[in-house]
Amino acid sequence: MDDTDIDVDARITEDRTVIDVTGTRDVAVVVRSDDGERIYLPPEGFDDPVGGSPYTSPYQGAGAGGEESPYGGATGSTRGVMETADGFRVTHPQPVTEFDVFRGGRD
């Protein structure tokens, strides 16, 4: 994957939506569901290089179904957004009807 490629994977169930963004943290995700529209911004420090430590796990801080866990790894998380080793994960508490991904400007 070069520095212009990103990958977005969405899983929608009857009670939640999980969207994984990999390859960059320089995007915002806008979701629309029955309760309206919500904007998810990347975790703080999103401009840090992607890749990090070889000891960083994309599963760190997540419990069953992608929920945050009290058992460590909660740093770097905000409500509904969790940093992963190569991007971030958005967990929305409803099935979405539509979502958009907006990429940050390029220098």
pLDDT digits (tens, 9 = 90+) for 6-50: 999 999 999 999 999 998 888 899 999 998 999 999 876 655 554
pTM: 0.66
Unique residue bearing structure tokens 């992607």: 50
Unique residue bearing structure tokens 């460590």: 72
pLDDT digits (tens, 9 = 90+) for 50-93: 444 444 444 444 444 444 444 333 334 457 899 988 899 999 99
- The vertex-29 CA angle with 14 and 80, nearest 5°, equals 60
CA-CA distances (angstroms) from residue 69 to 73, 74, 77, 89, 105? 8, 7, 11, 14, 33
CA-CA distance, 75 to 83, in Å (whole number)?
A: 9
